[in-house]
Structure 1
Amino acid sequence: MSAPGREAAGFRGLTLGILGGGQLAQMLALAALPLGVRVRVLEPDPQAPARLCAEHLLAPYTDPAGLDALAECDAVTLEFENVPVEALAALDGRVPVRPGGGLLARSKHRAREKEALRAAGVQTAPFKVIESAADLEGALERVGGRGILKTSELGYDGKGQARVSTPAELAAAWADLGRVPCVLEGLVAFGSEVSLSVARTAGGELAFGPLIENVHRGGILRTSVFPAEAPEGTEARAREAARAVAEAWGLEGLLTVEFFLLPGGALLANEVAPRVHNSGHLTQDGGGLSQFGAQVRAVLGLPLADWRPLLPCAMVNVVGVQGQEPDWAQIDALPGTHVHLYHKAFRAGRKLGHVNVVAPDRGTLRERVAELERLIP
């Protein structure tokens, strides 16, 4: 069945469906529209950011009528991993869902994700799966004596995790997390954190994003910078790891791999996000294709190529801080800045937007990032 209104959809006449209507869906829609692609999002939040630039199906993710409308699209993608399995089952065989349910089942569960990374030949930090009280015995020793206990599902932006350094702390942390299945990850003495995205079409065509350097604060990404400061050959190794994951997992769409970069130059995969990623937002304003355009192209089978900024650029997240507001006047006056707000209600600790900044050289970029960090709480 063809999508309603296809005659007016643009020169390509394509419609992209998205499960989720948050800021990532908003930015995917903004990248799709200039390509002559209409976007339809299924999202239960009446104030969803994507409602401003896409057709908003206001309904639960498992709503039969909403899923029927998504099934009329040319392809469906997503902006978050934890899609209800019922929604995926209802779309199965009716419309291409990219990435598919098998890949999502791996990436949404930390234990399965790490096991699948190792099966693809990609190194990770030492880890131990904790599913019962018996698994706590000797677990810390197996991961090096200190670790981070994380829920296997649903935790993000520093939530659902705790640092532990003694068996007593581990037992208490597991109890605090509800005794749900968890992964105990060994603490890694890394030099920095980097990320890299890969896109793959249904036909197997691959394209890569740039290597990006990331800094977190309180478990939430604070800044991302391109180009990353890394030893020679790091980006090539990250691309090979991302390629291995994309091919072993049968990726259709885009995924991002976050890495620990060790002092000696080795890379350990930390997490995989089967979608555009916060660290890649800087590709919106550095010139060239953005990560959002790359995901749209990969999902719809449009021509695809590597994407990377043409100039040094960076991103600083805007996270809600009670009683503090960014100095927008000075931010707007700073050369090279591009403000991206998500039209979301304020909540302390919530991602409300980001500011990208572009500069002619690395030195100037670092100065501008430092100034942005002064202006953004």
Structure 2
Amino acid sequence: MTADAPQLTLGILGGGQLAQMLALAALPLGVRVRVLEPDAQAPARLCATHLHAPYTDALSLDVLAGCDAVTLEFENVPVQALTALEDRVPVRPGRALLERSKHRAREKEALRAAGVQTAPFVVIETEAEVGGALEQVSGRGILKTSELGYDGKGQARVSDLDGLRAAWNALGRVPCLLEGLVQFEREVSLAVARGPDRALAFGPLIENVHRDGILLTSLFLEGDPQEVQAREIAGRVAGAWELEGLMTLEFFGLPDGDLLVNEVAPRVHNSGHLTQDGGGISQFEAQVRAVLGLPLADWRPLHPCAMVNIVGAEGKTPDWAGIDALPGTRLHLYHKAWRAGRKLGHVNLVAADEQTLRARLSQLETLIP
């Protein structure tokens, strides 16, 4: 940025670790950040102006309306907040996309409408719809609440009618989605950004491993054979949904080589954290650029890289000295209070070649419980 370049301000709904990393990516671009977040200990408060108030607070929304654009840190934001902003400031992604992506049934239906494969599913909103639902998804599935729930929360695996009834009752008898189980070989993700000029840019295809519903590791290697297919699907959904901003698609890789879309997040994604240290621009800079209408280009690491999440574990602590001593590591902590099962940070790992990366990743996984 030159001395006479215009100063931009970005508003973010949400002030957690993703907002923190978005703000850190925005600052070198000359962009100041304001976050609206009801948690007094919001991680983003350390590097952005923190509007400490409910998401629907009128005075705080007035402050965000004075930004050049507003984006989302996560999807569990009240739609009313976007409604209050949308005629006053560009909100990217917008209300319609948020309403779709935060509701699992609407999301699946919109993906199908865009011509994209998903797991078989059936919507359950009343007790009468529980009976016969499993037969529509081949007898086994995962019951998920239509709204809220993440990192494995708000869902239960079921294989018979009694189990389905018990799961629906345990989830509060709220509207749910029953997804059929899919036989897949791996889980991958890819992000797509679309500016207000409709120009598209893509992140890399990343392979992911989960444990107990929480992302454990992510891996990027150049030349993934399914990347072209993933980009085509992501671009199709971005166009059909009229995306402005950035969103991440999670896929199941099927044995026949096809990709099936599992979920869509209207934001940067945990799996994309490895782009921070791989040598190219990060997913966070890509979202900032897309939201503010700055020039966009594909973002991808220049070297093989991986990410390992640090999740609170009862009675266990990472080997901090061992992590620091392992070549190619870079630690990112979120300044969050410890809690079992809570994401507290991540470690990115970069190496010159695949063999070295995999060997060091195996070492790193032993250092993080």
TM-score normalized with structure 1 length = 0.96
- Is residue 89 of structure 2 the alignment partner of residue 110 of structure 1? no
Q: Per-residue deviation at 1:11?
A: 3.4
2:299 corresponds in structure 1 to 307
Pick from 197, 201, 204 the counterpart of residue 210 of structure 1.
204
Cα distance in 2 between the residues matched to 1:69 and 1:88: 13
Q: Would you say 1:285 and 2:277 are equivalent positions?
A: yes
Mapped contact 1:111–1:183 kept (Cα < 8 A): yes
Q: Which residue of 2 aligns with 1:3?
A: none
1:275 has 2:241 as partner: no
Partner of 1:244: 236
Sequence identity (%)? 76
Q: Report how far residue 85 of structure 1 moved.
A: 2.1
Distance 2:79 2:107 in 1: 17
Structure 1 runs (4+) deviating above 2 angstroms are 8-12
Report whether the alignment pairs 1:192 with 2:192. no
- Please name the residue that 1:357 is paired with: 349
AA at the equivalent of 2:203: G
Q: 1:12 maps to which residue?
A: 6
Conserved? CA contact 1:194–1:228, under 8 Å: no
1:94 to 68, 73, 88: 88
Q: Distance in 2 between matches of 1:229 and 1:160?
A: 36
Q: 1:161-214 CA distances to partner (integer Å, 9 max, x unpaired)? A: 000011111111111111100000000110000000000011101000000000
CA deviation string 1:317-342 (max 9, x = no partner): 00001211100001000000000000
Counterpart Cα distance in 2 of 1:223 and 1:11: 39
- 1:148-159 pair list within 5 angstroms: 148-159=142-153
Show CA shifts across 1:269-328 (max 9, x none): 000000000000000000111000000000000000001000000000000012111000
Residue 29 of structure 1 aligns with an amino acid whose one-letter code is A
- Counterpart Cα distance in 2 of 1:288 and 1:30: 16
List gaps (5 residues or longer) in structure 1: 1-7
The answer (yes or no) to whether the contact 1:12–1:37 under 8 Å persists in 2 is no
Are positions 1:56 and 2:50 aligned together?
A: yes
The alignment's C-alpha RMSD in Å is 1.3
Under a length normalisation based on structure 2, what TM-score does the superposition of the two structures give? 0.98
Report the equivalent of 1:83. Answer: 77
Partners of 1:246 and 1:25 lie apart in 2 by 22
Give the paired residue count. 368
Task: Say if 1:10 and 1:36, in contact at 8 Å, map to a contact too.
Answer: no
Q: Kindly report which structure 2 residues correspond to 1:257-276, keeping only aligned pairs within 5 A, or say none.
A: 257-276=249-268
In the TM superposition, what is the alpha-carbon distance from 1:45 to its structure 2 partner?
Answer: 1.1
Contact 1:212 1:228 survives alignment (8 Å): no
Residue identity matched to 1:376: I
Q: Which structure 2 segments of 5+ residues have no match?
A: none
Between the aligned partners of 1:67 and 1:85, the Cα distance in structure 2 is 13
Q: How much has 1:10 moved relative to structure 2?
A: 8.1
Distance 1:293 1:229 in 2: 23
Kindly provide the amino acid, as one letter, of the partner of residue 84 in structure 2: A
| Structure 2 counterparts to residues 38-77 of structure 1, below 5 A | 38-77=32-71
Q: C-alpha distance in 2, partners of 1:265/1:42?
A: 42
